[in-house]
Structure 1
Amino acid sequence: MSDDPTHVREFFGARAADWDSRFPDDGPAYAAAVADIGLRPGDAVLDAGCGTGRALPPLRAAVGPTGTVVGADLTPEMLAEATKAGREKDGALILADVAGLPVRDGALDAVFGAGLISHLADPERDLRELARVVRPGGRLALFHPIGRAALAARHGRQITDDDLRAEPNLRPMLARSGWDLVSYTDEDDRYLALAVRRSE
């Protein structure tokens, strides 16, 4: 299920221009997921694999003017669409792969990842990299605006037992990567796994 960065870049690069118009009703789901992270004014948060930056406005609203919001994506076309949509005013946009983030250890309070996990080249390694940049006790939110079954149906597939986002697979993978899964929701209209960065 995981992808190499070149394939991810090609896939999303070809779809960047009409991405937001294909999913126009996702805004409230993003805002609700951001609210569940528990961000506070002044916090620093990364939107990992930010795409066109749809999470940046609610993330900015959550951390306020004194907070730090960074959107990282490895697809230049997606970042260009985020800029075109004016979302760079809500957070700094950087071209980066989550496998190697230009962020110092423990600098962040939280990471938000929408539709991220199934596009990671090496999910366990990449989740460990996300853990590196988050302080102990900080949060990780893995989100999708629809659940696993609805997403599989959209693509004409069935859910399989090896789906990384399934709780029995995700929980131990997160644990091996420095995270403790604290809540898990997989419903037709929402997927949200929240994890807390363990103290070493």
Structure 2
Amino acid sequence: MTYESELASTREFFATRAADWDARFPDDGPRYAAAIAELGLKEGQFVLDAGCGTGRALPLLRAAVGASGTVLGLDLTPEMLRVAAGHGEWLVTGDVGRLPLRDGAVDVVFGGGLFSHFPDPAANLRELARVCRPGGLLALFYPIGRAALAARHGRTLTPADLRAEPNLRPLLAATGWRLTGYLDADDRFLATAER
């Protein structure tokens, strides 16, 4: 599959599910809140919610950075952004492989459910590093752990899973990040890295 065809496939998958996405996963809210609280965000920071989907994290990120902060929601799927528009944040349709931001523009990149949809994980992580300031934070989050997610989809985990810590750490290091935290519990996955 080419990069563009993978983007098209992802867009198609989420376009048909946007309207009822949040209703399908009603227990995710507290997990998002807990993960964002752990990040230690500060008043005035610029946060990119990469792959923001329906915007579940947007109000939580806004509360964390306050009125003086900036929260930008970016998603590949216009249908998801239409749902997210209700949160009142700045929203952009776009690809994490070609971000419409200058180098070092953001303090924090939050990616909820994003990593497994990267068409080119190394290139996409490099692009996220490009737009994040040195010392900035990357948070890769899922409101479900790797094993539970695999079971939900009728799969088993394999040693090749890029979210496994032994695979993720060197991938992040090769793309401009240093893994600083790793949690893979049944109810959530959170990997944090510093630029």
Query: Which TM-score tier does this pair reach, normalised by the shorter chain?
Result: over 0.9
Q: Aligned residue for 2:152?
A: 154
Name whichever of 56-65 and 32-41 sits farther off: 32-41
Q: Aligned residue for 1:141?
A: 139
**How far apart are residue 10 of structure 1 and its match?**
0.5
Q: Using the alignment, how far apart are the partners of 1:66 and 1:149 within structure 2?
A: 39
More contact order relative to length (CA 8 Å, sep ≥ 6): 1
The alignment covers a number of residue pairs equal to 193
Q: Aligned residue for 1:184?
A: 182
3-state DSSP class of the match of 1:110?
strand
Q: Using the alignment, how far apart are the partners of 1:121 and 1:4 within structure 2?
A: 6
Q: Aligned residue for 1:168?
A: 166
C-alpha RMSD over aligned residues: 1.3
Q: Aligned residue for 1:67?
A: 69
**How far apart are residue 158 of structure 1 and its match?**
0.6
- Structure 1 runs of 4+ off > 2 angstroms? none
Q: Aligned residue for 1:105?
A: 103
Q: Using the alignment, how far apart are the partners of 2:38 and 2:172 within structure 1?
A: 19
TM-score relative to the length of structure 2:
0.96
Unaligned runs of 5+ in 1: none
**How far apart are residue 115 of structure 1 and its match?**
1.0
Identity of aligned residues (%): 67
TM-score relative to the length of structure 1:
0.94
**How far apart are residue 25 of structure 1 and its match?**
1.4
Unaligned runs of 5+ in 2: none
